[in-house]
Amino acid sequence: MEKVLSVCAYCGTGCGLYLQVEGNQVVGVEPDPLHPVSQGELCLKGYFGFKHLQDPRRLTAPLKKENGRFRPVSWDEALGYVAERLLAVKRESGPDAFALLASARATNEENFIAQKFARAVVGTNNVDHCARL
């Protein structure tokens, strides 16, 4: 079994953990005793939240809906489509047609990038955060 140092992704705290990997699958988790934030502790989600990684229902590629059905597409096609649609809505309805709701599960840095995208790229100040609710 290989141990891979990582950071828990369930919230923005950033607890340190080791993923226990056998073959190509995560089979367990243990806390990093030297991590300055978690200091060898994990919450229940940190300990047991890895099982979704091998779930057969997990999406592995972007999907695009056409004629009422989803089909797998490349990342280039998916991102190109999203960019086209964002530009079209912005042209038709203006930037305040958009709002961004950030996540308490994301890190501060990820939330900062999201609000920067909303304000600097999209042009809206309609930004909020779910932890405030």
> Which domains are delineated in the chain?
2-54 (2.20.25.90), 59-93 (no CATH), 95-133 (no CATH)
pLDDT recorded at residue 51? 86
- Please choose, from the candidates 104, 106, 109, the residue with its C-alpha nearest in 3D space to the C-alpha of residue 133: 104
Confidence of residue 46 (pLDDT cuts 50, 70, 90): very high
Q: Any idea what the Cα angle at residue 32 is, between residues 27 and 35, rounded to 5°?
A: 150
Q: What is the pTM of this model?
A: 0.67
The answer for 93, left when phi > 0, alpha when psi is -120 to 50, beta otherwise, is: alpha
pLDDT recorded at residue 11? 78
Given a contact cutoff of 8 angstroms between Cβ atoms, the answer to whether 17 and 50 are in contact is no
Average pLDDT, the chain: 92
Looking at residue 106, the DSSP 8-state letter turns out to be: S
Predicted confidence (pLDDT) at residue 114 exceeds the cutoff of 70:
yes
